[in-house]
A and B are shown apart, each in its own frame.
Chain A
Amino acid sequence: MLLDSKIPEGPLAEKWDKHKFNVKLVNPANKRKYDVIVVGTGLAGGAAAASLAELGYNVKAFTYHDSPRRAHSIAAQGGINAAKNYQNDGDSVFRLFYDTIKGGDYRAREANVYRLAQVSVNIIDQCVAQGVPFAREYGGLLANRSFGGAQVSRTFYARGQTGQQLLLGAYSALSRQIAYGKVKMYTRSEMLDVVIVDGQARGIVTRNLVNGEIETHAAHAVVLATGGYGNVFYLSTNAKYCNVTAAWRAHKKGAFFANPCFTQIHPTCIPVSGDYQSKLTLMSESLRNDGRVWVPKTVEMAERVRKGQIKPQDIAEDDRDYFLERKYPAFGNLVPRDVASRNAKMMCDENRGVGSTGLAVYLDFSDIIKRTGAEAVSQKYGNLFDMYAKITDENPYEMPMRIYPAVHYTMGGLWVDYNLQTTVPGLYATGECNFSDHGANRLGASALMQGLADGYFVIPYTIGDYLANTPPKPVDTNHPAFAESKAYVQARTEQLLGIKGNRTPDEFHKALGHIMWEYCGMARTAEGLKHAKAEIQRLRKEFWSDVKVVGTGEEMNQALEKAGRVADFLELGELMVDDAYNRNESCGGHFREEYQTPEGEALRDDENYAYVAAWEYQGDNQPEKLNKEELVFENVKLTQRSYK
Chain B
Amino acid sequence: MPWPWPLVSWLVIKKRSRTGVFWASVFSLAYFGFYRQGCVCSIGAIQNVTLALFEQSYVIPLAVLAFFILPLVFTLFFGRTFCAGVCPFGAMQDLVAFRPQKTDPRLNAILGVIPYIYLGLAVLYAATGTDFIICRYDPFVGIFRFNATFGMFVFAGTLLISGIFIARPYCRYLCPYGVLLNWVSRVSWRHITITPTECIQCRLCEESCPYDAIDMPVTDGNPEERLVTTRKLILICLLVPFFAILGGWTGSRLHETLAGDSPKVRLAKTLADPVKSRHQPETFEITAYKSSGKPLAQVYDDARSVLRQFYFGGWILGCFIGLVFGIILAGRLLTRYRTDYTPNRGACYSCARCVDYCPVEKNGLVKMES
A binds B: no
A interface residues, Cβ below 8 angstroms from B: none
Chain B contact residues, CB within 8 Å of chain A: none
